[in-house]
Structures are given as structure tokens and as C-alpha cells.
Amino acid sequence: MDTVTEPEPLFDLEPAQAAGPDFAELAGLPFDELMAPDWAAALAGVEAELRSVLTFLAAESAAGHRVLPSASNVLRAFQQPLDGVRVLIVGQDPYPTPGHAVGLAFSVDAGTRPIPRSLANIYKELASDLGLPPRIHGDLGAWADQGVLLLNRVLSVREGAAGSHRGKGWETITTAAVTAVVGRRTAEGITAPLVAVLWGKDAEGVRPLLGSTPVVASAHPSPLSASRGFFGSRPFSRANALLTEQGGGPVDWELPAVPPQLRPRSLG
């Protein structure tokens, strides 16, 4: 998301979630259990700040405020290895509608209907850019599995209150995350292919952290700004071209018609 917050549907049912730790339990877990091992090593310098934010979320929850996404998803962006990141897409903060936020910027749970309008615009541009069919679901997990880091600048929100967890410490942590991604681009003298995709002014705020990383920038896909430079920006083909120029392989941006968690189980 970005500073522009569009209304979201009010009547979606939140999908069932597997039982997991609450925020108080999360704050007490060993650091290397919170995320992939290489992310834990890279973010060790902000461990105290992360634990402080998680303690704040536990207090929010104890006070009766619903925090989104769930504790089991709040650090989902760091579950895939840092070493595999090759495209960085920066968002603002999670969707404030129950059932939408899943810990990946712009993505929603596979069962959410209708999908948020910013994501619908992303699908329109994907179809225009690469000719790929829009999906009725909003699960972008297949992108994350290929090394697309869908990172919000702020990783939590109070239900119904967009931007409510800004200034609580997340910015320090996500700044460290972007710095870590950029730092491994030239680690040990080997340049790892990397492209940053920046949509909107909040995303543009990380540009000073990117160094020589190639950037694809445009307006945000929000309905209020998509027509002012997002549509027609061809971010997906441009990102792939930049990856190829650096000696990397392209991302397969086509999402599955039916995400894994919605596929019927085989009877055989």
C-alpha cells in the first residue's frame, strides 16, 4: 500500500488460520526462529528494535485492538532466504481490512473476494505488459517463492486504521532489511542480480538505500494514482530485462490459476 488508502470491502469473512503464536509469544522466541537463518544474521543489529515492536503489538492486542496481519504472518516477508532475493517491491503498510493482510506487500489471502483495487490494477498492468491473465485470487506467494521480496515499510496495522503503526519502529527494521538486500548484491565480489520496483512516493523513500541497484519506478497502483503513470509503466518486463542484463534469470510473473491452499486434495 501507499499513503493513499482506498476503501476496502467491509464484508469479507476472514479465512481460517492455523493456530500459531500470539504476539507476546512471538516476542519471546529465539531470534533465529523468527525468520530464515540468513535474515536473522543480517538483521541481528536491529534485534532489540524488532523485539520492541513485537512487544508493542502484544500490548495492542492485550488492550483489545486487533492487529493485522496475524502473529504467524507478521514477519512472513523474511521467511524466504535473503540469499534468494532478486526483485524488491516496496509497499507502505498492510491492508487494514480483516482477512486481507498476509505479511506480503500487496498480497491477500487466496480466499479474499473481491481483491483490493490496487492489486486489481497490478493485474491489469501485468496483462498489458506480459499478456498474462488476471487471477480472481490475490495470493502473490508464487512471486515470493521466486525471490520477489514483497516488503511493506511498516509490517503491521491496527484493524480499520491504515497507517496506525507508523513510527513504532518498523521503519528501522525494514531500512535494515533493504540495506541487507542491497549489501548482498556485491557480497564477496560477486554481483547478485537485483532490481528494485518502486511504486509511489513512500516506496521512493528507500531510493537512497539502493546504491547502484537498477530501479523501475512509477506511480502507485492505487485507483487514485494508477492512471498518472502506473498504467503503461511495464514494470514486469522491465524488471526481467534488468535481471537478464545482470546475468540473472527472469521471474515467471504468471500466477497459478488456483493457489496451492485452495486446490482440492488428491483422492489418489
Domain containing residue 126: CATH number? 3.40.470.10
- What pLDDT is attached to residue 16? 38
pLDDT in tens, the chain (268 residues): 444 443 333 223 334 344 578 999 999 999 999 999 999 999 999 999 999 999 999 999 999 999 999 999 999 999 999 999 999 999 999 999 998 999 999 999 999 999 999 999 999 999 999 999 999 999 999 999 999 999 999 999 999 999 999 999 999 999 999 999 999 877 656 679 999 999 999 899 999 999 999 999 999 999 999 999 999 999 999 999 999 999 999 999 999 998 876 544 333 3
Identify the helix (H) or strand (E) that includes residue 88.
Answer: strand 87-91
Report yes or no on 224 lying in a domain: yes
**Residue of 36, 28, 117 lying closest to 84 (CA atoms):** 36
Report yes or no on 193 lying in a domain: yes
3-state SS of 44-65?
HHHHHHHHHHHHHHHHHHHCCC
Report yes or no on 9 lying in a domain: no
- What pLDDT is attached to residue 260? 76
**How far, in Å, are 1, 78, 150, 249 from residue 46 at the CA level?**
24, 14, 20, 32
- What pLDDT is attached to residue 13? 33
Q: In what order do the strands lie in the sheet with 215-218?
A: 148-152, 87-91, 195-199, 215-218
Task: Write down the catalytic residue from 93, 109, 129, 202.
Answer: 93
Report yes or no on 198 lying in a domain: yes
Report yes or no on 67 lying in a domain: yes
Report yes or no on 30 lying in a domain: yes
Report yes or no on 182 lying in a domain: yes
- What pLDDT is attached to residue 264? 42
Report yes or no on 54 lying in a domain: yes
Number of domains making up the chain? 1
Is residue 93 flagged as an active site residue? Answer: yes
- What pLDDT is attached to residue 191? 78
Q: Which domain holds residue 161?
A: 23-248
Strands 87-91 and 195-199: parallel
φ, ψ of residue 210 to 5 degrees: the values are -90, -15
**Residue of 254, 1, 9, 2 lying closest to 111 (CA atoms):** 9
